[in-house]
Amino acid sequence: MSAPLLEVEDLRVRLRTPRGTAHVVNGLGYTVGRGETVAVVGESGSGKSVSVLALLGLLPARVATVTGAARLDGEDLLTMSPERLREVRGPGVGMVFQDPMTSLNPVLTIGRQLVEGIRAHGEVSKAEARERAAGLLAEVGLPDPQRALDRYPHELSGGMRQRVVIAIALSNNPSLLIADEATTALDVTVQAQILDLVAELQAEHGTGVIWITHDLGVVAGIADRVLVMYGGRCVEDGTVDDVLERPAHPYTRGLLGALPDLATSDDGDLATVPGVPPAPTDLPPGCVFWPRCPVRSDPRCATEQPPLAIVPTSHRDIGGGGLVHRAATWCEEGSRG
Amino acid sequence: MSVIVFGLVQLVPGDPIRLALGTRFDQETYDALLARSGLGQPLVTQYFGWAGRALTGDLGVSFRSGETVTSLIAERLPATLTLAFASILVALLIAVPLGTLSALRPRSVVDRVATVLSQIGISVPEFWMAIVLILVFAGTLGWLPSGGYVPLTEDPGGWAQRLLLPAVVTGVVSGSVITRFVRSSVLEALGADHVRTAQAKGLPTRQIFAWHVLRNALLPLVTVTGVQLAYLLSGVVVVEIVFAWPGLGQLALQAVQSRDYPVLQGAILLFAVVFLLINLVVDLLYTAIDPRIRR
């Protein structure tokens, strides 16, 4: 297998806050292959968004310290010069943000916002860039793209705006697309359209995709692999089948257990994971999930951070093509509930 | 509005005719003047008479000089307009760079210095700053005249020299207020989600700043600049007096002192109209700046 498109190694992000240093991302490592979709799931505050913002240098430098490595096509994003990073933003990595209501500039036309992105990466005439912008809008399924170019964001619905944001992210044919909760603010029908759209574009251009979400339904629908984050750490990763069908980490099991099931849930209360995620300013010394863990039993749980280790019970040969199923837990196989 | 203007002026104590006649007069002259001025009539009659004439552009005749109020105002208007626009220019030249720098480096040395300076600018009394500037630049250094006004058409050099100090004094005060607004609106614009989108597009920093930060911070800037301009246009009384600047503020003050009702009413009415006009212009500018307000 060729070298992965993106290789993240020991990514750590610390933020200075009034309440002390927040350890938001703690030693995250994963890879994304060409044309592959990796879903990153976890609760709010688990460090999902911060971990991808850090890749593109989009965290405020005054408060954020980022260490580790993130190689895109072998080139480290975290150490490259600001000018090189600017060149990578767009053609290297396109990004779609969570809230389409605020991620477009309200006082500039859609066309302008697309054209400026295209023209920032190459000698393109205004007319040519406009032509390309209209083509992109058509590609993302915006009706009447020529007219849409002269419209302002407030004249479009949320779903249409998110298509525009996706068009912007795709405008320089990025090799990696990062979608940060890109469909969370949209209603389900629009969400399905957007998911189809991205899958289509991905198949066409061979784009690698990091899809950040807390919606496990979305994960099952689009992802090749899943990375479960908790307390700024990867607690489990593997193929969608492995993680969703045979979760090894108690937290993943809790998440899956919290999914409301239309067939059986007419008896009242929804299942939850009791407790709240740890404050990033005050992480527990051992397993980050220990304070909420329903099956904690091993004495090391409270004192020693479990490493991300290969889950021995995977139903197929492990190590085949990097599709390993790993989990960071001291939890024994037998104690699975 | 005209009722308020009229009523307020009537509340000013003192008898204008007595003041106009001086210390020695006889009852007959007094009565004659009273009849001519119409001040003996009931207030309501006086009001409708004045308001009716004002609608046709006739603001009456000054008790003191006998000139028409419109000509008095027209005489003073150029000086006031000159000072107001020069001041707002000075204010923006101070406020936009200073406020922007503060916002770009919040809590830095630049920001702290700018905060202290604008705090001083807001709190220092204008007359004191005016006097200090006169002492330094007109007195000790002798570079600039201490006051007065010559029209631009007569002596451009002298016009500029005389304009500089008063414009700086009023400009510093307005500029200090505007600096605070620029700082907060740029800071807010910087934190907006769409700025992150612009960064993620790979735009050059300068382009992000011009089109995604400053462009969006313009709206509050236009508002506060409009308010400041309206304030400057309604005559900066103290500064006009210290610099012997023959503007509307001075005219209004003289009218108060001599209970020159028609002039005072005319001046206040003009201030009110100016205020409304500027608000109208600001609203029109909004629609030009912010597409969300169109339609």
Reported as a pLDDT band with limits 50, 70 and 90, residue A334 is very low
Judge if B10 and B97 occupy the same domain. no
Predicted local confidence at residue A155, as pLDDT: 93
Q: Which of B194, B199, B202 sits opposite A105 (nearest CB)?
A: B194
Instruction: Please check whether residue B295 lies inside any domain of the structure.
Output: no
Judge if B102 and B211 occupy the same domain. yes
Judge if B26 and B79 occupy the same domain. no
User: Is residue A265 scored above 60 in pLDDT?
Assistant: no
Q: Higher pLDDT residue, A259 or A92?
A: A92
Predicted local confidence at residue A40, as pLDDT: 94
Residues of A in contact with B200 (CB under 8 A): 56, 58, 89-90, 93-95, 97, 169
**Helices and strands in chain A, H and E counts:** 10, 12
Predicted local confidence at residue B23, as pLDDT: 67
Average pLDDT over residues A288-304: 79
- What residues in chain A have their Cβ under 8 A from chain B's Cβ atoms? 53, 56, 58, 86-91, 93-95, 97, 99, 102-109, 113, 116-117, 120-121, 152, 154, 165, 168-169, 171-172
Q: Higher pLDDT residue, A212 or B152?
A: A212
Instruction: Please check whether residue B63 lies inside any domain of the structure.
Output: no
Which regions in chain B score pLDDT beneath 50? none
Å from B215 to nearest chain A CA?
Answer: 8
Judge if B136 and B264 occupy the same domain. yes
Instruction: Please check whether residue B169 lies inside any domain of the structure.
Output: yes
Instruction: Please check whether residue B67 lies inside any domain of the structure.
Output: no
Which are the contacts of A309, defined by CB distance < 8 A and separation ≥ 6? A326, A327, A328
Judge if B283 and B226 occupy the same domain. yes
Structural domain harbouring B18 = 2-55
- Residue B58 CB burial class (10 angstroms; 0-12, 13-18, ≥19): middle
Residue B154: C-alpha distances to residues A74, B79, B151, B157, B245 (Å): 72, 13, 6, 9, 16
Which are the contacts of B32, defined by CB distance < 8 A and separation ≥ 6? none
| Subunit contact A168:B201, Cβ cutoff 8 A | yes
**Chain segment A24-41, per-residue pLDDT in tens:** 999 899 999 998 999 999
Q: How many domains does chain B have?
A: 2
Judge if B15 and B147 occupy the same domain. no
DSSP state of A320: G
Judge if B237 and B271 occupy the same domain. yes
Judge if B137 and B261 occupy the same domain. yes
Residues of B in contact with A91 (CB under 8 A): 202
**Chain segment A165-206, per-residue pLDDT in tens:** 989 998 998 999 999 888 877 778 878 888 888 888 788 888
CATH of domain A6-223: 3.40.50.300
Q: What is the CATH number of the domain that holds B191?
A: 1.10.3720.10
Predicted local confidence at residue B155, as pLDDT: 83
Judge if B127 and B44 occupy the same domain. no
Å from A77 to nearest chain B CA?
Answer: 13
Average pLDDT over residues A323-335: 71
Predicted local confidence at residue A320, as pLDDT: 46
Q: Residue ranges of the domains in chain A?
A: 6-223, 241-335
Judge if B50 and B195 occupy the same domain. no
Query: Using CA atoms, how far apart are residues B87 and B96, in angstroms rounded to an integer?
Result: 14
Instruction: Please check whether residue B64 lies inside any domain of the structure.
Output: no
User: Is residue A291 scored above 90 in pLDDT?
Assistant: no
Judge if B222 and B113 occupy the same domain. yes
Average pLDDT over residues A278-296: 80
| A112 touches B202 (CB < 8 A) | no
Residue B220: C-alpha distances to residues A249, B97, B206, B283, B285 (Å): 51, 16, 21, 12, 11
In total, chain B counts a number of residues equal to 295
